[in-house]
Amino acid sequence: MSTHDPKQVVEDLRDHLAAHDRRLAFLFGAGSSSAVNLAPVPAKGQKPEHKPLIPGIDGLTEVCAAAVKKLGKPETAAWEALVKQCKQHDHPPNVENILSKVRSKMDAISEGETLVGLNQVQLVKVEKIICSTMAETVSLEGRAIPEWIPHDEFASWVKKVNRTAPLEIFTTNYDVLFERAFEASNVPVFDGFVGTLEPFFYSECLDDDDLLPKPKWIRLWKLHGSVNWSLGATDAKNKSKKRIIRSQPNKSGELILPSDRKYMESRKQPYLAYIDRLSRILNMEHALLITCGYSFRDEHINAIIFGALDNRDTTNIIALQFQDLHDTDDLVKTAIRSSNLTVIGPNAAVISGALGDWQLTEPVDKKTSSFMDAAFDSNAQPEDEGSPATASANLMGRMRLVDFNRFCQFLNAMPQNMQ
């Protein structure tokens, strides 16, 4: 296997981020929210623990499974049947895929029938308990949020950057951690909602750049819905006609859309508009998308990303993956075939179609440690400390940037004269 120099990779990433006029977008997944750690600082010599403020998809699935099983034995059996169906179709048995199957059965079932042992009323009840449990789990109400979280680091970097091209942020998360951080840093944000009393979703602005704010505004697109969206009446006289409004976070979960059904109902418009926006950005000349905390489990988003890679040689994707990379991983195989997809893991990377372990070509010194320490956990000793690292084992290490915490620290530590 070949090797990749982490110093060169970090420097290249820093240069990409410093390009003010390049179309830059981020895609943040569940890993960015679960990166917020509530565990206390460990005592010296003890292994650090991780207690996420908001669980990742696996933790969220466990919480929802427990809530559904509390409904009774039929619902417990139905959940297990849905998990089995996911596995049979080679889909991860997580709550998003299970919710997709519940909603598809709600659409298919007729009066008097049962599917996975549940009748129509029971299926509706299961859907509601899943959505409300998800909303309650990601809600920040009553939570003891740390004084400084990685989202604050990210917002601090955004505030310092003087870009001529707009920064577009896509996220699959339902929580409002990014909104909270941007407001705390006085960063103006536009998310496609307009109005003052009950801001409503206005899809036309996503199709016409003339209707969008200037680059000083951050564009935030929440692909899977949000805990602070709800269905409201269009006007007082026509209460039957609904539109999507943004208000205070609620625990109904009615606008959580992590399923195929988001294509087929009135709630689909934000999703379709946002996914079209992602496609448009990625198909722009020399576009760059950086993903962090996104595990590439959403087939529809993946189709947009991989389609852009195939259609546009100048489009580049940098995927920061929290888990170790292996040559059997689907994403690794895709990156080997696509030279414009760079996949960075803690142990290795796929760059220009080549999978390789991390290995420094020269030790980190005092000059480079200022940005390398946050990015790479090196076994090498700084050469100006009198212990030059010459053995290849001492030049190895693990990439830290794949952790959303470290990535945001790295961004915020970038010299302002590069921004």
Where residue 193 falls (left for φ over 0; alpha for ψ -120 to 50; beta otherwise) is beta
Report residue 317: phi and psi, to 5°: -120, 130
Instruction: Say if residue 179 is in the same domain as residue 274.
Output: yes
Instruction: Say if residue 162 is in the same domain as residue 70.
Output: no
pLDDT, tens digit, 9 for 90 and up, residues 112-167 = 899 999 999 999 999 999 989 998 998 888 778 888 999 999 999 999 988 888 99
Model-wide pTM > 0.75: yes
Flag whether 171 is in a domain.
Answer: yes
Instruction: Say if residue 108 is in the same domain as residue 125.
Output: yes
- Residue 268's pLDDT is what? 57
Cβ atoms of residues 219 and 280 within 8 Å:
no
Q: Which of 280, 284, 340, 217 has its CA nearest to residue 22?
A: 284
Flag whether 17 is in a domain.
Answer: yes
CA separation for the pair 410, 408 (Å, rounded): 5
Flag whether 411 is in a domain.
Answer: no
Per-residue confidence band for 393, with pLDDT thresholds at 50, 70 and 90: low
Instruction: Say if residue 79 is in the same domain as residue 30.
Output: no
Flag whether 110 is in a domain.
Answer: yes
- Where is the domain boundary, 138, 154, 179? 138
- Where is the domain boundary, 341, 357, 373? 357
Instruction: Say if residue 164 is in the same domain as residue 310.
Output: yes
Domain range for 186 is 2-39+144-357
Per-residue confidence band for 382, with pLDDT thresholds at 50, 70 and 90: very low
Residue 397 burial (CB count, 10 A): 20
Instruction: Say if residue 96 is in the same domain as residue 163.
Output: no
- Give the whole-number percent of the chain exceeding pLDDT 90: 53
Instruction: Say if residue 196 is in the same domain as residue 87.
Output: no
Instruction: Say if residue 250 is in the same domain as residue 189.
Output: yes
- Where is the domain boundary, 138, 173, 198? 138
Flag whether 417 is in a domain.
Answer: no
The number of domains in the chain is 2
Bridge pairing between strands 348-351 and 354-358: antiparallel
Length of the chain: 419
pLDDT, tens digit, 9 for 90 and up, residues 201-246 = 988 888 888 889 988 899 999 998 888 888 775 555 655 567 888 8
Per-residue confidence band for 266, with pLDDT thresholds at 50, 70 and 90: very low
Task: Output the six-digit token pair for 32.
Answer: 């960015």
Flag whether 374 is in a domain.
Answer: no
Flag whether 362 is in a domain.
Answer: no
